[in-house]
Structure 1
Amino acid sequence: MLAVRGKVVEVTTDGAETHVDKLAKRYLGMEKYPRRSPDEKRILIKIKAEKIHHQDYS
């Protein structure tokens, strides 16, 4: 588990589609994210981290 607290420094749609496709490639083995819907809007939110908390459950 990972929690990041901080301030949002940028919200953009630029590159959001490419980013979700990269995640699909890494985690699903697919070139394009398969669960797109025509009315959704993807955004990227950049956060300046102020506190990071992690916990290992293994």
Structure 2
Amino acid sequence: MKRDPHIALSITDPKRLERYLEVRGTIERIEDDPKLDFINSMAKKYLGVDKYPYHQPGDERVVVFVKPEHATYQG
């Protein structure tokens, strides 16, 4: 990602496969997340738990900030 900051993300609705979102852009910055703040906040929001339950010792987490430049969607 540091060598080539271009990125594309594709998200499909598992209940309606014809519904999707694709975002293309460039990475603005990458931040370490040693305290797991971001993944724990996502676990709280989507799983209803305070700590991400699938973290393994030795896992290293980062947060990638993307500047969106183009989006395509359907549904």
TM-score range, shorter chain: 0.7 to 0.9
Identity level (%): 32
- The answer on 1:30 being equivalent to 2:49 is yes
Counterpart residue identity of residue 67, structure 2: K
TM-score (norm 2): 0.66
Deviation >4 Å, runs of 4+: none
**Greater relative CO, 1 or 2 (CA 8 Å, sep 6+):** 1
TM-score (norm 1): 0.83
Please provide the CA RMSD for this pair.
Answer: 1.7
Which structure features the higher share of helix residues? 1
Gap runs ≥5 in structure 2: 1-19
Aligned residues between the structures: 56
